[in-house]
Copies of this chain bind each other. A is one copy, B any other.
Amino acid sequence: MNLFVYLVTDDKYFKDRDLVSTIEQALQGGATAIQYRFKNKSARQMYEELLVLRELTKRYGADLVVNDRVDLAMAVGADGVHVGKQDLPPDVVRKIVGDSMYIGYSVNSVEELKEVDHLPIDYIGFGSVYETTTKENYKLVGIEGLRQAVKLTSKPIVAIGGITHYRVKKVLEAGAKGIAVVSAILGFEDVKKATQSLVEACRSVHRERFFMP
């Protein structure tokens, strides 16, 4: 599990853009994990895209995580599956996947976090840390909420929501083990360069603490 620079996809950024070549640019820029999240595609289309992304992420040594669809994650041998409150409950997911992959779970408030420590999950996606344009309805937890969250759970927290390269330092210093982003990568035409900026920002903070290539 390597979620330092964790790219989450979103339908709205792929209207006029090729999925595979865009993801490859992010991988070239140093993204350590890709979460495949689309809402308006058939299972067959997602399966076929995921097969290609599975090979691609392996080639770059990056993780592939599938949002919501546990069956698709299993079908392509993903490294992880990510669920939220609208998806299958984590304990049910664990029964289905066994130990074959890790499970991530979205949490959107410090209060909820108190309930999740017993869940069979491997990391927590926590946010929104900052204001974001990616989601229309979201809860703002703030950098202070993130700091509290890190103290409240022993599970690794990946921060999400409005994170840009100039906010990376604050987010990691608050205790996040990784940053999950959508627009900070996909909002740019030069996806590779945008990813590199984030990786550089992470690296400068993490240099003494973690190995990053």
Which A residues contact B (CB, under 8 angstroms)? 42-45, 47, 68-72, 74-75, 83, 85-89, 92-93, 95-96
Contact = CB atoms under 8 A, between A and B. Distances in A.
Contact of A70 (B44, B45, B71, B92): B71
A42 B92 contact: no
Contacts of A71: 69-71, 74, 88, 93, 96
A44 B85 CA distance: 7
Contacts of A45: 86
Number of copies of this protein chain within its complex: 2
A75 B87 contact: no
Contacts of A95: 75
Contact of A75 (B68, B72, B85, B92): B92
A107 B133 CA distance: 42
Contacts of A92: 47, 75
A96 B68 contact: no
A121 to B, nearest CB: 15
27 contacts: A42-B87, A43-B68, A43-B69, A43-B83, A43-B86, A43-B87, A43-B88, A44-B85, A44-B86, A44-B88, A44-B89, A47-B88, A47-B89, A47-B92, A69-B69, A69-B71, A70-B71, A71-B71, A71-B74, A71-B88, A71-B93, A71-B96, A74-B96, A75-B88, A75-B92, A75-B95, A75-B96
Given A47-B89, A70-B71, 8 more contacts: A42-B87, A43-B83, A44-B87, A44-B88, A45-B86, A47-B92, A71-B71, A75-B92
| The 9 A-B residue pairs with the shortest CB-CB distance in the complex, in nearest-first order | A70-B71, A42-B86, A71-B71, A43-B87, A75-B92, A44-B86, A74-B96, A43-B88, A47-B88
Contacts of A75: 88, 92, 95-96
Nearest to A84: B44
Nearest to A70: B71
Nearest to A92: B75
